[in-house]
């Protein structure tokens, strides 16, 4: 298809490079430097989508981030991406996009029937309709609403693109590279400040790219090019295009999304699609410019109605005509530039100016060029359905209330300008209380809250000379404050045409007996009558009106509609706009993809993975791993066809019969040193620690101040003032913070130092009746007899030349030892244990066997110490010192903690000795009692007892100790099980603990 | 994200710190006879002031020191930060 709307030579596109792309399955051509929007317009495609509620045809309205209509679904690399604005999407070879919110096609859309039923879809219709019959909600209304809601379709596939995060610090962040941004950046950079200049568009220069002005002795665009080129060469400057600063957060933290490769055909594997920058700036210069707002008139959503500034941008940057018979409808001077641009390209525009007799240089220029200008005229309504074909125009009275005779004139586009709205989003997000500026009928930033300064049209200044002068000055001042340098650059002379003031006119009245839809919010289909209805229904606060009508709540966040909405509310309510106030500006300024927010923290990168030094040995020996906190631990070692049950049973049996070895590297380890260490431990743990001799370990329980068990483990006295504490794998980090809290804040007088050594030591637990014999072979020179190294004893020895620590401690309830060597020697230690242990039938065992062994011994662990239990609940009464105070002791006096009703740890065996009890089952008196069946307790851990060859569980049960011998039921509605059980002692195996001492 | 001045390390981003609650709470001395009400106040009851608040932060991904921070709970302005054993 030929580009019938493309001019022959103007624009900044590269005409040497033709690019092919597809829209709605049809092939088109554009040029390098085009956006999808400009390329479609060049091809005469105006119809790109359907509106949200009424499915009315939608074309292009803007040329950038403010675009409310042209939202398309992108198809790239076999993936689909919704919510892409065609006005921002740069063209690349092979680009594919589709229209959204229409079926079966954008040209013939069934949903357009809503347009005729619009009486049933007034403001707040979702609060009023769908109410009855009730049964319809689930089956009919909800699926219908779900299908109708939103633009486009989210991909159901895993996003294979790469997104990155970057943290950056700078002296000055400048948001926007228009005249204000460039001037501020240049002045600050030349004064030695480290700056970041961010531009949302691919091209730098902002309004200078399309305006007819001179700076110094060159055109605005040439000046911008020169400044950017110079800035890019400076080492203290980072210049980023396609980078949108979308949020201003606390303490001068701003977030910016950089579209790194959205404009490229296919992403290379390691080039991210987007990058999120977290920028901490000492100062921020907000130069985000302004957005043109429309004048509201009848059928103002018809394809072909565009912002005058967008029409100019399409002409000057892309060499594209939005129409060949344009009407320029304006209340101010800036749209005259668009008219003149049309005229210079051989197109005859008609200007309708709401003002009666404006006098300024640019109006004179238009007159001198012979442009047809109708003063005191307005567009009453646009005619045409999928494209404008004519306009109803009329003269308007001086009071702007009465329309003259309506006449019809032919046109194919209406370029509308209702003056400019400063983009104050970032200023407002920073906490700045904005104020209403009567001169421009818009809000501007007030007093700075954080270190932010707004310049240029974002600050309501539309005069270029003033913008350039103040921005140079601000750039210099802000940089001087940071760098203390005093290099001032000279400010260039500006020549521009003078403008006269705009007309405070924003909405064309309806002619008699006509009921045109007049749209305020083009994306959410909110009309003037919707707002009026909401006000009639009693909504007053602008925040309520917004939510009730959804004004400004679409993905464009009302960039082109909010201010007109406020005008309407203030007119109807007879209030002034500032007293109506504006709704809160919240980040993000433009939509940000979820992928960019998540960054690289996906899949296995969502958390760190810790592996023990013996990990590769486990892998080679068929270990099946399980996540234990952030560690990977072997759950069992698979042999042949074994599953979890068979393997863990074999491993546990071998521990009870021969000897097994388990990787316990993951246990938290804390090195404690200092003369007051014993006193400190005595306060941290519930039991007595002052008399622990050197070379001895002790089991300890620590509480939180509220009396709940925090963690347990053994601590060993290595030497006089040196202890080695172990914690559970999961609580390691919390325990260290806990210890640091008490040492630094509560008892700073204690001379103790704590440091984590979890990663410094590799650990192996050797357990089973043959463990001593095996150990003796590993350390032939050491006396490891029951007298030489008794239970809870500690010694240091030499493992084939490697220094090792030997602890005689047991988690399995068997005779057992724990060996520690430096992490680098972990694998050496492990292989030696296996090698020497072979003759004793040693087998490695995983966490599942480890659990089995501790459960049948009645050792409490994480599932009993679940953050809800106190030591008395866990049968740890003997560890509570009566003589000394410790953390949490006072809480143990609480009445509830000493109640007879308190749940305590017991053992549970199924009566049939066959059925395993699911963990989490509830213990109840009667299996079939009326619901809710009163719960007496719950199963905390289950195993297959290898000692007795039947299932065994631990439970936390009301009045536990007095329930021993009683028969109850274990109910698991999840697993649909009801199991008759008997309550027994939690110490199922070796209740006297003879084996560990043998 | 807050920017917190650690008295040991200087200005660091909030994501290096863990929040530690009210910094004015004093733990009752060990072995001291204390009423249930006093103990409950220490363990459970905290004020949630609007405005200036002295709170604890733990520089867990930095020097591992607990510090005191005076922060405005409305504006997030940080007025002062000191070492744990000093008073604000």
pLDDT in tens, A596-631: 999 999 988 888 899 999 999 999 999 999 999 889
CB contact under 8 Å between B30 and A683, yes or no, is: yes
The alpha carbon of residue B51 is apart from the nearest alpha carbon of chain A, in Å, by 16
In chain A, residues with a C-beta closer than 8 Å to the C-beta of B64 are 740
* CATH architecture of the domain covering A670-757+881-897: 2-Layer Sandwich (3.30)
B57 assigned to some structural domain? yes
Chain A's closest residue to B57, CA to CA, is A741
B17 assigned to some structural domain? yes
B63 assigned to some structural domain? yes
Residue A160 burial (C-beta neighbours within 10 Å; 0-12, 13-18, 19+): exposed
Report d(CA A919, CA A943) in Å as an integer: 9
The alpha carbon of residue B66 is apart from the nearest alpha carbon of chain A, in Å, by 7
Residue B14 domain boundaries: 3-21+40-83
- Topology agreement, domain A163-290+422-495 and domain A610-666+759-867: no
Chain A's closest residue to B26, CA to CA, is A746
Domain boundaries, chain A: 14-125, 163-290+422-495, 294-418, 610-666+759-867, 670-757+881-897, 899-998
Q: What percent of chain A has pLDDT over 90?
A: 83
Between A343 and A578, the more confident residue is A343
For A803-843, what is each residue's pLDDT tens digit? 999 999 999 999 999 999 999 999 999 999 999 999 999 99
Q: Residue A121: pLDDT above 80?
A: no
* CATH architecture of the domain covering A294-418: 3-Layer(bba) Sandwich (3.50)
Q: Residue A1: pLDDT above 60?
A: no
Chain A's closest residue to B30, CA to CA, is A885
CB contact under 8 Å between A705 and B58, yes or no, is: no
Q: Residue A878: pLDDT above 60?
A: yes
So what's the pLDDT on residue A144?
66
Give the DSSP letter of residue A344: H
So what's the pLDDT on residue A127?
64
Pick the CATH number of A163-290+422-495 from 3.40.640.10, 1.20.1530.20, 3.40.50.720, 3.50.50.60: 3.50.50.60
In chain A, residues with a C-beta closer than 8 Å to the C-beta of B22 are none
B88 assigned to some structural domain? no
So what's the pLDDT on residue A125?
66
Q: Which of A447-451, A764-768, B74-78 has the highest mean pLDDT?
A: A764-768
Do residues A583 and A543 lie in contact, with contact meaning Cβ atoms separated by under 8 Å? yes
CATH class of the domain comprising A610-666+759-867: alpha beta
CB contact under 8 Å between B27 and A705, yes or no, is: yes
In chain A, residues with a C-beta closer than 8 Å to the C-beta of B27 are 705, 746
Nearest to A547 by CA among A564, A529, A530, A567: A530
Do residues A788 and A782 lie in contact, with contact meaning Cβ atoms separated by under 8 Å? yes
So what's the pLDDT on residue A552?
87
CB contact under 8 Å between B1 and A167, yes or no, is: no
Report d(CA A117, CA A104) in Å as an integer: 19
Element housing B70 (H / E): strand B66-72
In chain A, residues with a C-beta closer than 8 Å to the C-beta of B55 are none
Q: Residue A105: pLDDT above 90?
A: no
Phi-psi region of A668 (alpha: psi -120 to 50; beta: other; left: phi over 0): beta
User: Which of A259-268, A332-341, A944-953 has the weakest average pLDDT?
Assistant: A259-268
In chain A, residues with a C-beta closer than 8 Å to the C-beta of B43 are 705-706, 891
So what's the pLDDT on residue A30?
97
In angstroms, how far is the first alpha carbon of chain A from the final one?
92
| Residue A436 neighbours by CB under 8 Å, 6+ apart | A442, A443, A444, A576, A577, A578
Residue A187 burial (C-beta neighbours within 10 Å; 0-12, 13-18, 19+): buried
Give the DSSP letter of residue A592: -
So what's the pLDDT on residue A247?
97
What is the pLDDT averaged over residues A177-202? 98
Residue A797 confidence class, pLDDT cut points 50, 70, 90: very high
**DSSP line for A182-243:** HHHHHHHHHTT--EEEE-SSSSS-GGGGT---EETTEEHHHHHHHHHHHHHH-TTEEEESSE
Count of the separate structural domains present in chain B: 1
**DSSP line for A419-474:** -EEE--HHHHHTT---EEETTTTEEE--S-SSSEEE-GGGGT---HHHHHHHHHHH
So what's the pLDDT on residue A754?
98
Give, in degrees to the nearest 5, the angle at Cα A693 between A689 and A696.
90
So what's the pLDDT on residue A128?
65
What is the pLDDT averaged over residues A348-370? 97
Strands A326-330 and A350-353 turn out to be parallel
CB contact under 8 Å between B13 and A706, yes or no, is: no
So what's the pLDDT on residue A51?
83
- What does each of the 88 residues of chain B score in pLDDT, given as a tens digit? 999 999 999 999 999 999 999 999 999 999 999 999 999 999 999 999 999 999 999 999 999 999 999 999 999 999 999 999 899 8
What is the pLDDT averaged over residues A881-892? 96
The alpha carbon of residue B59 is apart from the nearest alpha carbon of chain A, in Å, by 10
For residue B59, the domain's CATH number is 3.30.2270.10
Could you tell me if the ipTM is greater than 0.90?
A: yes
What is the pLDDT averaged over residues A540-566? 88
B74 assigned to some structural domain? yes
CB contact under 8 Å between A280 and B13, yes or no, is: yes
Q: Which fold has domain A14-125?
A: Ubiquitin-like (UB roll) (3.10.20)
B31 assigned to some structural domain? no
Residue A640's Cα: distance from chain center in Å? 45
B33 assigned to some structural domain? no
For A222-243, what is each residue's pLDDT tens digit? 999 999 999 999 999 999 999 9
Pick the CATH number of A899-998 from 3.90.950.20, 2.40.30.110, 2.60.120.620, 1.10.3720.10: 2.40.30.110
What is the pLDDT averaged over residues A946-970? 96
So what's the pLDDT on residue A56?
87
What is the pLDDT averaged over residues A510-520? 93
What is the pLDDT averaged over residues A414-438? 95
For residues A783, A787, A792, A796, the Cα torsion angle rounded to the nearest 10 degrees is: -20
Q: 3-class secondary structure for B1-58?
A: CCEEEECCCEEEEHHHCEEEEECCCCCCCCCCCCCHHHHHHHHCCCCCCCCEEEEEEE
In a 3-state reduction of DSSP, which class is residue A807? strand
Neighbours of A926 (CB within 10 A): 11
């Amino acid at each position: 298809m030929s580009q019938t709307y493309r001019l022959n030579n103007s624009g900044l596109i590269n005409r040497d490079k033709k690019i092919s792309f597809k829209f709605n399955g049809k092939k088109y051509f554009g040029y390098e430097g085009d956006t999808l929007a400009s390329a479609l317009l060049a091809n005469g495609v105006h119809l790109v989508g359907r509106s949200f509620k009424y499915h009315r045809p939608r074309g292009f309205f803007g040329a950038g981030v403010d675009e409310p209509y042209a939202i398309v679904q992108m198809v790239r690399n076999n993936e689909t991406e919704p919510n892409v604005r065609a006005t921002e999407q740069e063209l690349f070879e092979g680009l594919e996009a589709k229209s959204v919110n229409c079926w079966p096609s954008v040209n013939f859309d069934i949903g357009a029937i809503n347009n005729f039923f619009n009486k049933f879809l007034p403001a707040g219709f979702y609060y009023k309709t769908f109410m009855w019959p009730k049964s319809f909600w689930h089956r009919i209304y909800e699926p219908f609403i779900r299908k109708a809601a939103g633009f486009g379709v989210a991909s159901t596939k895993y996003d294979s693109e790469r997104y990155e995060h970057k943290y950056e610090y700078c002296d000055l962040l400048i948001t926007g590279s228009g005249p204000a941004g460039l001037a501020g950046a240049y002045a600050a950079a030349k004064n030695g400040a480290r700056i970041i200049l961010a531009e949302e568009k691919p091209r730098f220069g902002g309004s200078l790219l399309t305006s007819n002005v001179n700076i110094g002795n060159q055109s605005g665009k040439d000046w911008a090019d020169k400044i950017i080129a110079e800035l890019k060469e400076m080492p203290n400057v980072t210049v980023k295009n396609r980078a949108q600063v979308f949020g201003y957060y606390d303490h001068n933290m701003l977030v910016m999304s950089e579209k790194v490769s959205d404009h490229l055909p296919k992403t290379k594997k390691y080039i991210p699609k987007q990058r999120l920058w977290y920028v901490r700036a000492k100062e921020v210069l907000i130069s985000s410019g302004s957005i043109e707002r429309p004048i509201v008139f009848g059928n103002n959503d018809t394809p072909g109605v565009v912002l005058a500034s967008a029409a100019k941008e399409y002409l000057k940057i892309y060499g594209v005509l939005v129409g060949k018979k344009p009407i320029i409808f304006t209340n101010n001077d800036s749209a005259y530039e668009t008219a003149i641009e049309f005229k210079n390209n051989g197109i005859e525009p008609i200007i309708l100016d709401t003002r009666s007799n404006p006098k300024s240089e640019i109006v004179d220029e238009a007159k001198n060029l012979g442009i047809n200008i109708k003063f005191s005229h307005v567009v009453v309504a646009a005619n045409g359905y999928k494209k404008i074909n004519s306009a109803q125009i009329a003269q308007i009275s001086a009071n702007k209330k009465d329309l003259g005779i309506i006449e019809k004139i032919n046109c194919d586009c209406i370029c509308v300008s209702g003056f400019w709205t400063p983009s104050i989003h970032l200023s407002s997000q920073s906490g700045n209380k904005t104020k209403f500026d009567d001169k421009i009928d818009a809000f501007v930033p007030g007093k700075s809250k954080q270190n932010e300064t707004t310049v240029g049209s974002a600050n309501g200044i539309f005069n270029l000379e003033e913008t350039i002068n103040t921005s140079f000055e601000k750039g210099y001042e802000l940089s001087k404050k940071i760098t203390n340098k005093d290099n001032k650059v000279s400010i260039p002379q500006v020549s521009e045409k003078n403008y006269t003031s705009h007309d405070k006119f924003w909405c064309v009245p309806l002619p008699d007996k006509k009921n045109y839809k007049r749209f305020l919010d083009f994306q959410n289909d909110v009309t003037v009558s919707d707002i009026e209805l909401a006000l009639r229904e009693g909504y007053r606060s602008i925040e309520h009106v917004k939510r009730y009508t959804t004004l400004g709540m679409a993905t464009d966040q009302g960039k082109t509609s909010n201010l007109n909405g406020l005008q309407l509310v203030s007119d109807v309510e007879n209030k002034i706009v500032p007293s109506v106030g504006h709704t809160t500006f919240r980040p993000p300024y433009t939509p940000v993809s979820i992928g960019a927010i998540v960054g690289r923290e996906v899949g296995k990168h969502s958390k760190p993975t810790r592996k023990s030094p013996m990990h590769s040995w486990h892998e080679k020996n068929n270990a099946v791993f399980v996540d234990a906190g952030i560690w990977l631990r072997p759950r069992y070692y698979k042999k042949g066809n074994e599953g979890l049950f068979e393997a863990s049973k074999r491993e546990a049996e071998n521990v009870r019969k021969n000897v097994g070895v388990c990787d316990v590297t993951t246990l938290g380890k804390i090195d404690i040193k200092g003369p007051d260490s014993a006193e400190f431990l005595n306060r941290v743990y519930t039991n007595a620690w002052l008399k622990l001799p050197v070379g001895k370990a002790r089991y300890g329980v620590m509480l939180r101040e509220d009396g709940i068990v925090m963690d347990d483990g053994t601590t060993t006295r290595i030497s006089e003032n040196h202890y080695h504490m172990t914690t559970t794998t999961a609580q390691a980090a919390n325990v260290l913070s806990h210890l640091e809290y008490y040492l630094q804040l509560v008892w700073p007088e204690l001379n103790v130092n704590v440091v984590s050594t979890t990663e410094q030591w590799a650990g192996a637990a050797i357990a089973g009746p043959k463990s001593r014999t095996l150990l003796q072979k590993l350390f032939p020179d050491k006396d490891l007899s029951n007298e030489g190294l008794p239970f809870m004893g500690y010694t240091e020895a030499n493992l084939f030349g490697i220094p090792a620590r030997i602890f005689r401690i047991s988690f399995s309830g068997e005779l057992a030892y724990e060996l520690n060597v430096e992490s680098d020697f972990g694998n050496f230690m492990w292989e030696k244990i296996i090698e020497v242990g072979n003759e004793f039938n040693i087998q490695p065992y995983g966490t599942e066997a480890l659990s089995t062994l501790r459960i049948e011994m009645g050792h409490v662990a994480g599932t009993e110490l679940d953050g809800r239990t106190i030591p008395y609940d866990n049968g740890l009464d003997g560890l509570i010192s009566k003589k000394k105070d410790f953390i949490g002791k006072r809480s143990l006096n609480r009445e509830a903690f000493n109640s007879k009703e308190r749940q305590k740890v017991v053992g549970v065996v199924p009566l049939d000795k066959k059925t395993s009890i699911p963990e989490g089952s509830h213990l109840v008196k009667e299996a079939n009692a009326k619901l809710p069946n009163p719960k007496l307790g719950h199963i905390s851990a289950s195993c297959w007892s290898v000692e007795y060859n039947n299932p065994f569980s631990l439970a936390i049960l009301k009045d536990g100790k007095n329930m021993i011998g009683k028969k109850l039921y274990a109910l698991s509605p999840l697993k649909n099980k009801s199991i008759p059980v008997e309550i027994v002692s939690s110490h199922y195996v070796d209740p006297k603990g003879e084996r560990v001492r043998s | 994200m807050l920017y917190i001045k650690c008295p040991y390390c200087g200005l660091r981003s909030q994501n290096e710190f863990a929040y530690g609650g009210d910094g004015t709470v004093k733990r009752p001395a060990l072995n001291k006879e204390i009423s249930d009400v006093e103990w409950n106040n220490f363990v459970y009851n905290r004020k949630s002031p609007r405005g200036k608040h002295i709170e604890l932060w733990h520089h867990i991904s930095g020097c591992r020191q607990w510090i005191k921070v005076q922060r405005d709970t409305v504006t997030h302005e940080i007025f002062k930060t000191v070492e744990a054993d000093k008073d604000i």
